[in-house]
Amino acid sequence: MNPSNHETCDAALAELPGWHVIDGRNAIGKVFRFADFSAAFAFMARVALLAEKMDHHPEWTNVYNRVDVVLTTHAAGGVTEKDLTMAHAMERYVG
């Protein structure tokens, strides 16, 4: 996020357990861990549907039961409402 909206972002992240600002990037991220690959991929399928619907796609890495998600809005050069909406949706999916 831009220096000017750091405060807003901190407030937003406070409601998103496990999410943090990625070092050296205007982006937020979280590492999700699941019971196994099957559960991880089902989560990814659900996020994929949302991403396509929002036309807003995560950067993500999967290794077996682990999914590392990074969210940023390239067009805005930082974290926007879109990223926060997606992060909250991911929390609902694993909730």
> What is the binding site for a copy of itself (CB under 8 A)?
37-39, 41-46, 48-53, 55, 57-64, 93
Q: How far apart, in whole angstroms, are the C-alpha atoms of residue 29 and residue 31?
A: 7
Measured CA distances, 4 to 10, 60, 79 (Å): 12, 27, 12
Cβ 19 to a copy of itself, closest distance in Å? 19
Cβ 54 to a copy of itself, closest distance in Å? 9
**Cβ proximity to a copy of itself, 21 vs 50, nearer residue:** 50
Cβ 3 to a copy of itself, closest distance in Å? 25
**Cβ proximity to a copy of itself, 5 vs 22, nearer residue:** 22
Q: How far apart, in whole angstroms, are the C-alpha atoms of residue 47 and residue 59?
A: 11
